[in-house]
Structures are given as C-alpha cells and as structure tokens.
Amino acid sequence: MCMKNAMYKILVGCYIVASLVLVCACNDGLDIQQAYPFTVETLPVPKKLKVGETAEIRCQLVRGGYYQPTTYQIRYFQPDGKGRLEMDDGTVFLPNDLYPLEKETFRLYYTSASTDQQTIDIYIIDSFGQMQQLSFSFNNDSRKEEK
C-alpha cells in the first residue's frame, strides 16, 4: 500500500511539473510584424517649366515587407508658387487632402501655373502612420520657343 501511495505521489508531482512547464511556455503575444518601412523612388524630373507646361513624376513605392491590410494614402502641399497636381487616373489633388494610393507604381503630373519658383511637397502615409516625403522645385523656363 505504501508503494502505491508513493507511486501516486510521484505521478501527481510529475503531472504538476509538466503542467507548470506548459503553462509557463505558452505566450499569447504572437510577434507578427505589421508595420514595415517603405520608400518612394522617383525618376528625375525637369527643373524648369513654362507656365502651362506639365512635368511627369514617375513613382515606385518600395515596401520593406508585406502585411496584407496595409494601405497607403497620398497628399501634397505647395508652399511656393501655383500649379496643379494630378494622379495618372485623372484625379486632381487638392492641397492637404488625403487620397488613397491604389498602386505601387504610379505617375503624378504637375502643371505649372506660375512664373515664380514653385515647390511641391508630396507625402505618402501608410496605415500605421509611417510617412515618406518627396519635394520637387521648379523654376520658370523663360526661354522663347524657336519657330
């Protein structure tokens, strides 16, 4: 009887130790990275524009990783000069308004409306608040067209 009692205590002790090890080993916090860094690369753009002339800005969003629900938005601000910025789908941007960025490769078109120096700041923001800023400056091209 004493042997059965001792064996019972050993088994119960083993079960207790095993359950403590399992409970301590469990971690409810899965480490899933959601916010990945990103950059926006562009091809060179002209430095001079005549009034009414349009510059094409080719952009590529380069993501450091992929988390499916991540979304991106775009906005712009023009601290100097006057002009118009639009997306390749025809959307004309209003300063400081957010617009969804549906594609990772896209084109922007800036049309000059001023003889002054013009500067536009473009902001790309992801759904985690990370932001990339692009700045472009254009001087007036006062050269006369040759006939």
- For residue range 26-85, list pLDDT tens digits in order: 555 666 667 889 999 999 999 999 999 999 999 999 988 877 788 999 999 999 999 999
- At 23, is the pLDDT very low, low, confident or very high (cuts 50, 70, 90)? low
Average pLDDT over residues 3-18: 76
Q: What residue ranges define each of the domains in the chain, with the CATH number in brackets?
A: 38-140 (2.60.40.2410)
How many other CB atoms sit within 10 Å of the CB of residue 103? 13
Q: In the predicted model, is pLDDT for residue 6 greater than 80? A: no
Phi-psi region of 40 (alpha: psi -120 to 50; beta: other; left: phi over 0): beta
How many other CB atoms sit within 10 Å of the CB of residue 83? 21
Report the SS3 class of residue 13: helix
